[in-house]
């Protein structure tokens, strides 16, 4: 895959699905893309945060899945940062899941003084 095609493929927002019993919970995503001038490096990091709440009287729980996907892409002095913020969408839930008011800060890029 050439570099432009790879960049185009990476820029597509993902679709995630969760299974709860026999029901599929759709994950809605907002997609953020940042572009910086930087040195060559490649790194990716996944962070998962689960939020649970429980309906005691029905002995049944839902779980909401918050997915943060940090993607670092450095190539020929160009630094691409992909950030996905996803939240579940359940039409049967009484209220939508809430996300933090601001996205988490990404990890600092590795220190480098020269491109390889």
The reply to whether 15 falls in a domain is: yes
* pLDDT higher than 50, residue 55: no
In total, how many domains does the chain have? 1
As a whole number, mean pLDDT of residues 60-72 equals: 34
The reply to whether 67 falls in a domain is: yes
* pLDDT higher than 50, residue 5: yes
Q: Please compute, for residue 69, the number of CA atoms within 13 A of its CA located in the half-sphere on the CB side.
A: 21
Report how far residue 101's alpha carbon sits from residue 99's, in angstroms, rounded to the nearest whole number. 6
The reply to whether 105 falls in a domain is: no
The reply to whether 58 falls in a domain is: yes
The reply to whether 94 falls in a domain is: no
Domain residues for 24? 3-89
* pLDDT higher than 50, residue 2: yes
Q: Please compute, for residue 61, the number of CA atoms within 13 A of its CA located in the half-sphere on the CB side.
A: 9
- Rounded to the nearest 5°, which phi and psi values hold at 104? -70, 150
The reply to whether 39 falls in a domain is: yes
Q: Is the pTM of this model over 0.85?
A: no
The reply to whether 56 falls in a domain is: yes
| Model pLDDT for residues 71-83, shown as the tens digit of each residue | 333 333 344 444 4
* pLDDT higher than 50, residue 4: yes
Mean pLDDT of the chain: 41
| Model pLDDT for residues 88-114, shown as the tens digit of each residue | 444 454 444 443 334 334 444 444 444
The reply to whether 19 falls in a domain is: yes
| Model pLDDT for residues 34-45, shown as the tens digit of each residue | 444 433 333 333
Given a contact cutoff of 8 angstroms between Cβ atoms, the answer to whether 64 and 89 are in contact is no
Report how far residue 54's alpha carbon sits from residue 78's, in angstroms, rounded to the nearest whole number. 46
């Amino acid at each position: 895959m050439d570099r432009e095609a790879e960049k185009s493929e990476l820029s597509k927002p993902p679709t995630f699905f969760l299974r709860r019993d026999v029901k599929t919970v759709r994950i809605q995503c907002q997609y953020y893309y940042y572009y910086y001038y930087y040195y060559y490096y490649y790194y990716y990091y996944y962070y998962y945060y689960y939020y649970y709440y429980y309906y005691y009287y029905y002995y049944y729980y839902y779980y909401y899945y918050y997915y943060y996907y940090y993607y670092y892409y450095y190539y020929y002095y160009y630094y691409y940062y992909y950030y996905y913020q996803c939240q579940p969408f359940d039409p049967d839930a009484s209220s939508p899941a809430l996300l933090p008011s601001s996205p988490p800060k990404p990890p600092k890029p590795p220190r480098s003084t020269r491109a390889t």
